[in-house]
Structure 1
Amino acid sequence: MRNVVQYEGIKLWVDQDVIHCKLRPDFFKNYEKDKTEEALFNAISILYDREYRPLLLDLKQINSTDAIEIFMLISNSVPINTLVLSRAFLVRSTCLKFLLALNNITGNRVVPNRIYTDFDLALLYCKNKYKNFNTVSQRSFT
């Protein structure tokens, strides 16, 4: 784990070429909704370093309403899309996973979203995305 960034209730770090993100439950109590996207963008941009990486968001510690809100915000965020390769959301229940998956189907996403209840599967997805992206990128430059 390197480059741990703690920013206004958001904890981010890079591990195994994946940007990990955890939100504290009190993040939503202490932060204005219209500033949430800006706070997340600023925190992610610190770790970006001109290299596209997948973003793994651990939403298991926050309630379902806040998880849906942050999912919608990040899924539709143009600024955050410019910084990440893909997004994986880790949620605590199959019911929440189903609700987010329904939204995922109806939304028109440029950057793909995946929703998981299992950390290991979410991490594997992110690592594979990073590996595939860099394999294709390296071939393009040779």
Structure 2
Amino acid sequence: MTEPAGETPIFERIGGAATVDRLVDRFYDRMDSLPEASGIRAMHAPDLGPVREVLKRYLGEWLGGPPLYSAERGHPRLRQRHLHIPIGAAERDAWLLCMQGALEETVADPQLRAGIYDAMARLADWMRNIPEDGRDQAAP
């Protein structure tokens, strides 16, 4: 997610690392508690601590913060890293439901919140690897 040159990064505009940490914590709290998210919760290890830390680093960098994720793990290669996990429309929608609620709880500015959500929705849709029509989403 990028801003026009000279614009303050979204990371700073939402409150920096503290807000990203709360966002990720609320996201995984929702994944743990929402019945609609039980399918994607089952895809994760019982202990969400390590994945919380990875997502905090990734989202912080994605929102324009320090490149902590890349320094530790290299290029995100997000879709490639998730190809072993079946992601269809239901998984995308459950993920977005958790993220939308977390954004509503942590990002006060409605315009920033909407912009972040829209970018995340595009990313979540791109991550699908179980097509609805039998073809891979990445195929032309």
TM-score by length of 2: 0.27
Which of the two has greater strand per residue?
1
Which of the two has greater helix per residue?
2
Larger RCO of the pair (alpha carbons < 8 Å, separation 6+): 2
TM-score by length of 1: 0.27
